Amino acid sequence: GAVMCCCGPCAMYRRSALLLLLDQYETQLFRGKPSDFGEDRHLTILMLKAGLRTEYVPDAIAATIVPDRLGPYLRQQLRWARSTFRDTLLALRLLPSLDRYLTLDVVGQNLGPLLLALSVVAGLAQFVLTATVPWSAVVMI
């Protein structure tokens, strides 16, 4: 009964639900400025906060454009990571009322990248300071 991010090109909403949340959705700010990223995740969280359901439909078919080169792919991933971190703060109060798996998913989405960054920094520090290959960091990464 809950999905944390209904992807923009693949999502469908009831008109009545959108009208209920339109003002909050259109006035989304990030650090005091209008936000232009992560709108699909933000809308999903607004839906859940309003007590509405979001569902995954495994047999749905949708078409979208995806990055086919590394540069655009990395920009997409950075955009998604920013919206994940930002909107996690909005979702924290929701988590106790949702399925435990969603809590695990949100924790993983936020801790995974942080642990990866920590592993890279620790590995580089070990290499610079000791001139040894940081095998534990390499394995972690």
pLDDT tens digit sequence for 57-73: 888 888 888 899 999 99
pLDDT the model gives residue 117: 85
Token digits of residue 91: 């979702």
Burial class of 129 by CB neighbour count within 10 A (0 to 12, 13 to 18, 19+) = exposed
Whether 38 has a pLDDT exceeding 80, the answer reads no
Mean pLDDT confidence for 76-89: 83
DSSP 8-state code for residue 12: -
Q: Where are the alpha helices (DSSP H) in the chain?
A: 15-26, 39-49, 70-91, 100-130, 135-140
- The b/e string for 88-122 (b: 16+ C-beta within 10 A; e otherwise) is beebeebbeebeeebeebbeebeeeeeeeeebeee
Q: Is pTM, for the whole model, over 0.75?
A: no
Those residues whose C-beta lies under 8 Å from the C-beta of residue 110, and which sit 6 or more positions away, are 84, 85, 88
Average pLDDT, the chain: 83
> What's the confidence (pLDDT) of residue 68?
94
Chain center to CA of 7: 10
Residue 16's pLDDT is 92
Alpha-carbon span 85 to 53, nearest angstrom: 22
